[in-house]
Structure 1
Amino acid sequence: MTESLDATDWAILAEVQQDGRIPFTELARRVNLSASATTERVRRLETAGVITGYRAEVDLERTGYAVLAVVRLKYPGPGTRHEPLRRLVEERPEILECLRTTGDDCYVLKVATTSMGHLEEVVDSLARFGSTTTNLVLSRTLPFRGPRVPRAVTPPL
């Protein structure tokens, strides 16, 4: 679908990533379309799987999960079954994100915990699967922001 995204689609994506609860009338005003045309475009982006959902951004510290870490996991060699690790990742709510990667580390996980002891418990559960390296997050210099308009696409006026 990437090839069929025009500047208006990218403008819609930018707005809904900024505020997933934006009313269609306001979104339409911002992207210079009618409300019905905007609604149709959003529905088309949802149907095509470009927009995969809408989520609330939660302040981890205010919910008691003040320790944020990135854990890199070096999984044992070829032929290793990954299902047990995938089950653990699904079962542990502290694991916010898990990415399978290339290079020395097979997985990179974003983990939020209530304390250092809690983090140690999560890391120990991951260490059953291989060697881990844990980095504490001091601050979010650039929070996740989603894709932006490619340089080749000119946004609408």
Structure 2
Amino acid sequence: MTRQLDDIDRTILRAVTADGRQTVRALARTVGLSEPSVRDRLQRLERDGVITGYHADLDPVSVDAGTAAFIALRFEPGEAAKAVVNERLEREACVLEVHEVAGEDCYLLKVRVPGTGELAEALDRIRAIPPVISTNTTIVLRTVVERPLGVDAACPE
């Protein structure tokens, strides 16, 4: 982001994070601005890449993805190896997040699957990616805190 958010932008972001389906009219009432002003601000926030999309939060069990796991992935060094891994992970629908990390591992993946059998199959496919050296998997028993990113997400100093 190239510009600073002002208090009105932050209020708009809090409101759309809480309810992305509310109307511009409702947002205008919340913020205390006219509908055209709020619409302009929303369009600017979208254009500047602050708002990257609108989505529905789904219950993982209801969509047959009730088992979550984190996979630490280590692979051969180099940009060519990274490109191969990235391309293959992009094709794995169960891979929700891929984070490049510091330390001995290269990536930390978040996956969701129906159960442990499907997790084993996903791990087999991931381990078969040519530059992969090793994986270390942690299965989630229960999620204690999981929240969407909000405008106030940064921890206070």
Structure 2 length-normalised TM: 0.86
Distance 2:151 2:52 in 1: 16
Partner of 2:13: 13
Instruction: Give the superposition deviation at 1:138.
Output: 2.2
Q: Which has the higher contact order (CA 8 A, sep 6+)?
A: 1
Partner of 1:155: none
- Aligned CA distance change for structure 1 residues 75 and 93 (closer, same or farther; 3 Å): same
Paired residues, what number?
A: 151
Percent identity over the alignment is 33
Partner of 2:141: 138
Distance 1:120 1:144 in 2: 27
Q: Secondary structure at the match of 1:83?
A: helix
The code of the aligned residue for 2:49 comes to G
Structure 1 length-normalised TM: 0.86
Instruction: Give the superposition deviation at 1:130.
Output: 2.2
Q: Secondary structure at the match of 2:122?
A: helix
Distance 2:121 2:9 in 1: 44
Instruction: Give the superposition deviation at 1:120.
Output: 0.7
Distance 1:149 1:11 in 2: 10
The code of the aligned residue for 2:126 comes to L
Distance 1:131 1:121 in 2: 15
1:7-51, Cα deviation, whole Å (9 max, x unpaired): 111111111122211111111111222211111100010111111
Distance 2:120 2:127 in 1: 10
Q: Which runs of 4+ in 1 moved over 6 A?
A: none
Instruction: Give the superposition deviation at 1:140.
Output: 2.5
Segments of 5+ residues of structure 1 without an aligned counterpart are: 152-157
Instruction: Give the superposition deviation at 1:77.
Output: 3.0
Partner of 2:70: 70
Segments of 5+ residues of structure 2 without an aligned counterpart are: none
